Structure 1
Amino acid sequence: MYVRSFTLRDFRSWDDVTTDLGPGSVVFVGPNGHGKTNLLESLGYLSTLSSHRVSSDAPLIRAGAERAFAGASVVNQGRELTIDIEILEGRANKARMNRSPVRRPREILGVLRSVLFAPEDLALVRGDPGERRRYLDELLTTRRPRMAAVRADYDKVLRQRSALLKTAGGALRRGSNSSDGVGALATLDVWDGHLAAHGAELLSARIALVHELTPHVAESYSSIAPESRPATIKYRSSLAEALPPEFSDPNREPESDDVEVLEAAFLHQLSTMRTREIERGVCLVGPHRDDLELGLGDQPAKGYASHGESWSFALSLRLASFGLLRAEGSDPVLMLDDVFAELDRKRRSALARVASGAEQVIITAAVAEDLPAEIDARRFGVEAVQGDSSRISTITPLEENVC
């Protein structure tokens, strides 16, 4: 798979640009803060419908503009599809495939498969559980686009149920039997059923994904840091106390009836936690409370891994994603955002070996000297100039096309 060309309008620092890429390696070289990362962010957004840098869409729209546009022509095994999305502030975004509107933006998911490794990935090891949940869910929706709808349905039910818990908890603290409080308690069972149904499907998919990822992570980490302790990953669920003992075995093969088993455990745990949830006004059970545990030897990576080990683990998670997607028959687009400057020589070489074998790799670098000699790539210069209301980035092909 590769991006043949892409177009941006009013996306971050980009006013209006169209650039042809094609298979192989491409490097965008330019000073920090001039718009290189914005290019990869736009392609990542087309791939996942989210940014790896911000949680909302508003910052993606260039200052002074009302909307942003990102589009790409993607070639996969000889078939070319064009996708684009219009990002609108305060309104629902609009997406198209082959210039025909789709009902929901998530219908373009899966057309562009990508793996992005960026400096922010250190948070996968050192950050909060939400970073690791997001890593799993983005990979899930890349492989199985329908999981985006499952996650959206779960989040919608979670918000509604959380609001009911706050209403019921408020009435309980006031010692009142208000109609709102009574109504919230009466409808919680219905929302428990919806939450368990959607949550069990999401949880089952995550557990199966971690099972598939485990050997890829171990192999990737061993190749990057062979002298270090072995790397392990394990899914930790907030339903653990309600699950059958066999679910605690990390080597257990996912089974066809897992969703039903998980849904029953979910409902049991919700019933057990009902009083505490009402008292606190929050939902204490479900995939939104789970974590991906990262281990080095007998210790957790978070808090115990050195700086180099943390970088190695973050890189291993991305390389594991790449390996898993590649095993399904088509290379995802590999994007490397100014990461070679952060890595030592050994880790640079390990990443370069993977990059050199990818169908397409898109790299950003502040200076060309940061790139390993193993990477043979076309180069584009990126530079930002001051516009009327913001900086505007430009792309210029460089005469020397080999780094």
Structure 2
Amino acid sequence: MFDEGPSILVGPNGHGKTNLVEALVYLANLRSHRVSTDAPLVRQGCEQAVVRAEILHDSRRLLAELAIVPGKSNKARLNRTPLARPRELIGALKAIAFAPEDLSLVRGEPASRRRYLDELLCSRYPRFAGVRADYERVLKQRNTLLRTAYLAKKTGGRGPGGAEMATLDAWDAHLAEHGAELLSGRLALLEDLTEPVAKAHARIADGRSELTLAYESELGADLTADRDVLTARLAAALAGARAKEVERGTTLVGPHRDDLDLVLGTLPVKGYASHGETWSVALAMRLGAFELLRADGTAPILILDDVFAELDATRRERLAEYAESAPQALITCAVAGDVPERLTGARYDVWEGEVQRVL
């Protein structure tokens, strides 16, 4: 069992440090922070991987277990009781992880930023895991119908008939309903998240430029979190895009195409920020999320996966301050000297998949 405060895991690359923290991240979010599919998470030659953790929260112990089975449905248990869906495990463990891959939050495609919002939203309010799953299910069905219509026109057919259009109308209504609920959750989250992220950035970057966040949607900039209003606007947007969607065979409107704008001062971060500024923004997004969850009364684990070696001295010290203040922090590094001396706590050696406490 890891102690409260910082725990530092030291070991050469490729010996299992990231495997350990990745297991915790997956248990918290049902997704890896490192890869997009489950197959790399399972040892070669094995059919599945099992993550098992005992969680102590408010003097209550929870045993969370998850079997990761690539190509099949994962299985989850809580206190040895099988769960109907793995997503029911979300909320048992709360963790915020920062890793070098998080530069994609700034430099990467919009999907990285949408995932950031949705994972935080589900961690804060686990019911949104179901909302997101419902939206993705409806989107998949609607895209299948649009693809069929597209292929019919491409091969010389007359395109979708009245029955197909009636079916598409029904999927439009479902997409507008579930999409509005997801969008409402994101907008409400962003309203609460903006200040913690801005404060974290000011602390990391010494307040050189103000970081602001803004939600970008094809529905417009004047969005409200009111679900009824969003449902109506999304339904109208889908109707207006119908012809283009049939021509392209895919859904062109909805939360799956939205983005999170990051602005430093008066300039967009993407394309303008220096390497150091990019690190500061990515750090601020994760640390702001950490502070938001902590303000909610939870105690998320702060996971810093092999990042101190990538930072300059100033950012190392700022990040160390956060790690010191966390109820529990797990820090991995290849060389112990990469971690600031001020971070004292339990130390572990990691070698060929074995973790041994040395201090």
Structure 1 residue 49 and structure 2 residue 17: aligned?
Answer: no
Structure 2 CA distance for partners of 1:112 and 1:275, relative to 1, 3 Å: same
Match of residue 53, structure 2, among 60, 65, 72 = 72
Return the offset for 1:181.
5.3
Matched residue, 1:166: 147
Matched-pair contact (CA < 8 Å) for 2:193–2:288: yes
Structure 1 residue 203 and structure 2 residue 183: aligned?
Answer: yes
Query: What is the aligned-residue RMSD (CA, Å)?
Result: 1.4
Match of residue 117, structure 1, among 95, 98, 103 = 98
1:309-358 deviation digits (Å, cap 9, x = unpaired): 00000000011001100001122001000111111111111111111111
Return the offset for 1:167.
1.0
Percent identical across equivalent pairs?
52
Matched-pair contact (CA < 8 Å) for 2:211–2:262: yes
Matched residue, 1:300: 268
Which structure shows the higher strand fraction?
A: 1
The whole-number CA distance in structure 2 between the counterparts of 1:236 and 1:102 is 36
Partner amino acid, structure 1, of 2:357: P
The whole-number CA distance in structure 2 between the counterparts of 1:186 and 1:263 is 19
Matched residue, 1:17: none
Return the offset for 1:246.
4.3
Partner amino acid, structure 1, of 2:307: V
Matched residue, 1:98: 79
Matched-pair contact (CA < 8 Å) for 2:201–2:207: no
Partner amino acid, structure 2, of 1:55: S
The whole-number CA distance in structure 2 between the counterparts of 1:192 and 1:161 is 8
The whole-number CA distance in structure 2 between the counterparts of 1:91 and 1:174 is 34
The whole-number CA distance in structure 2 between the counterparts of 1:338 and 1:83 is 26
Matched residue, 1:86: 67
Match of residue 395, structure 1, among 333, 355, 358 = 355
1:155-202 deviation digits (Å, cap 9, x = unpaired): 111011011111112223344247x75543231000000000000000
Matched residue, 1:358: 326
User: Does 1 or 2 have the higher relative contact order (CA < 8 Å, sep 6+)?
Assistant: 2
Matched-pair contact (CA < 8 Å) for 2:67–2:74: yes
Return the offset for 1:81.
0.8
1:276-296 deviation digits (Å, cap 9, x = unpaired): 000011100000000000001
List alignment gaps of at least 5 residues for structure 1.
1-19, 248-253, 385-392
The whole-number CA distance in structure 2 between the counterparts of 1:290 and 1:73 is 37
Partner amino acid, structure 1, of 2:29: T
The whole-number CA distance in structure 1 between the counterparts of 2:277 and 2:73 is 41
Structure 1 residue 236 and structure 2 residue 216: aligned?
Answer: yes
The whole-number CA distance in structure 2 between the counterparts of 1:226 and 1:128 is 28
The whole-number CA distance in structure 1 between the counterparts of 2:45 and 2:131 is 35
1:48-103 deviation digits (Å, cap 9, x = unpaired): 00101111111111111111100111111211111010112322111100111111
The whole-number CA distance in structure 2 between the counterparts of 1:184 and 1:168 is 8
